[in-house]
Amino acid sequence: MPRKIYSLVVIVTCFLFFSSCDSRITVEELTNSSVKRYLSDIITTMQNNSVNRKIIDWNAFRTEVMSLADDAQTIPDATPAILRALELLNDNHSFFVPEVGFTIRPAPTKPYVKNIAMGTTIPSDVGYIKVRGYSGSTAIASHFVEQIQNEIRRQDHQNIKGWVVDLTENTGGNMWPMLDGLSPILGNGIAGYFIDPDGVETSWSIKAGLPQYGETPKHTNYNNRYQLISPNPKVAVIISGTVGSSGEAVTISFIKRSNTRLFGKPTYGISTANTSYNFGGFGELFLTISTLADREKTLYGNEILPDEDVTMDTVLDRAIEWLKE
């Protein structure tokens, strides 16, 4: 029986990719000297790890940022300095979460998409999976994966022509549960790469139905995994200007996969990877450290273009039409 799909998207502004922790500073009573010590260490971390580290004048960077903290005695006092540091990184993706106060991030370089309406009828011989962003805890990630794979299981049958993977509400978060859930459709093999400014490459892939970062397993504890009746299906991926960060990583995972095509509008344009550094009681830096590349190592870093530029009110119809060709 055909299925009616309608969605309304309100974009959120949190794009988190994957994270690690580097705890190097002990909590202490803040004074101007200790605030400056934290800031100096934050700048050093940026200098050593930023995706743009090779194109920044770090002497000028440090001088400008430190000058904004001349009178800082508290974490909130340091906000202008931290904000300026993030602006000078010019990667459009890094941000700082202080121990006290609100997340510090530069203003976006372009307007966010506010609402996207999309509706059509899905025929019974086409599978349809919507994958939204995920930023929940590790403890509930298995439930996120279970929901996706149960939906794939429910719809799969012998006469499926192909699958629509709808990423239009995927604003980012943690890429691994997304890939874990979609692994039956995506299939095994390298799906993309993280590439740093020195050209060091680390792949992400699906191996034996499970996502991996290099050789490190990144799957959840979900065990009742599904395999398609007909593996390696034809896939239409729907994207829009709402799709960012980890949503773009999932998009890239399907690029240059056989029998796959992207439909819709260009993505938001932060197809880069963040990792986190913890500064004791001062806060946590989420720093952009590498650029995303597809399975043939083509670098992105900005917006991802669809194979077919289609308006949101017709994109699902066009994706289904292509699957049936």
Pick from 4-8, 108-112, 173-177: least confident: 4-8
Asked if pLDDT for residue 43 goes beyond 90, the answer is yes
Q: Say which CATH number the domain at 298 has.
A: 3.90.226.10
pLDDT above 90 (res 316): yes
Say if 45 falls within a structural domain: no
Asked whether residue 96 is domain-assigned, the answer is: no
Angle of helix 79-89 relative to helix 32-49, nearest 10 degrees?
10
Question: What pTM, to 2 d.p., does this model score?
Answer: 0.88
Owning domain of residue 169 = 3-15+116-273+283-323
Which of 34-38, 138-142, 185-189 has the highest mean predicted lDDT (pLDDT)? 185-189
- Buried-exposed string 244-265: b where 16+ CB fall within 10 A, e elsewhere: bbbbbbbbbbbbebeebbbbbb
What's the domain count of the chain? 1
Q: Is residue 99 part of a domain?
A: no
pLDDT for the residue numbered 217: 95
Asked whether residue 243 is domain-assigned, the answer is yes
Whether residue 10 is predicted with pLDDT greater than 60 in this model: the reply is no
87-96, 97-106, 136-145, 306-315: least confidently modelled range: 136-145
pLDDT at residue 108, rounded to an integer: 82
Residue 310 has pLDDT above 50, yes or no: yes
Asked if residue 24 belongs to a domain, the reply is no
Question: Is 168 part of a structural domain of the chain?
Answer: yes
Q: State mean pLDDT over 284-288.
A: 97
Highest mean pLDDT among 42-46, 105-109, 131-135: 42-46
27 inside domain = no
Q: Has residue 303 been placed in a domain?
A: yes
pLDDT at position 23, please?
Answer: 38
